[in-house]
Structures are given as structure tokens and as C-alpha cells.
Amino acid sequence: MTGIYALTVGGSIAAAHRLRDYDGNCERLHGHNWRIDVTIESDTLNDQGIAMDFREIKSLLSEILSRYDHMHLNEVSPFDVMNPSSENFARHIFNEMEKRVTHPVRVSKVAVWESEGSRAEFIRG
């Protein structure tokens, strides 16, 4: 049987942002307790039957998120130039994780939750 193995880890940060050129409340500074889920995938497993150790994925995600925890996102690169929307945040984390994982593992999806009921996803195309 063929298939793809998918592993998901989550992390969280507290951070503020404001959406530039947005006509509504979100243009004002406000904060979220963000939840970020990263899904990696692989076609194969290593000799131990593992695609990638959960602890390693979590460590890589924590390394990325530490730059943004308790920060005003609009003041931190790349969001000092790019609008810090959930969509852009998801794509940025996806790209940063891609730099850190090695073949045959690849990032397949990043979901960024602004609140319990609202999330944006960036999915491998």
C-alpha cells in the first residue's frame, strides 16, 4: 500500500499586530493568543519507523516562533514591511520551516489560529 505519512505539531505565542490599510477594527493595534500547527509529510520512514521525531519538529517550530512571542508583529521582520495577516504569517512560518527540514521530509501545511474559531492555512501547492 502506498501513502504519505503526515505529522503535526503545535505551538503558541502571544503577540499583537495591526492590519495596514484595513477598513475596520483590525486596523487598530490588538493582540491574539496565536496557535500555530505545522504539518510535515514524508513518503518514507527511517530505520526506526519514524518520518521525523516530533521533538525535532517542535524544536524547529519553537525556534521560529520565539522571534514573535510577546512582540508587536508590525515591528519585526518581515512584518515591518509585509502586512501581518494570518495568511502572511502562515506562509512565512511555512517558508521558515522549509529551510529547516531535510529530504525526504517536507512541510505540507501551516495553520495559524487567531482565535479558537478562526484560522488561516498555507498549504503546499
State in words which class domain 5-123 has: alpha beta
Which H or E run contains 99?
Answer: helix 86-100
Per domain, the residue ranges of the chain are 5-123
pLDDT of residue 123: 98
Written as one string, the DSSP assignment of 4-15 is -EEEEEEEEEEE
- For residue 27, report the phi and psi dihedrals to the nearest 5 degrees: -75, -20
**pLDDT band for position 87 (cuts 50, 70, 90):** very high
Written as one string, the DSSP assignment of 46-90 is -TTS-SS-HHHHHHHHHHHHTTTTTSBGGGSTTTTTS---HHHHH
Average pLDDT of the chain is: 97
36, β-bridge pairs = 11, 112
pLDDT of residue 2: 84
**pLDDT band for position 89 (cuts 50, 70, 90):** very high
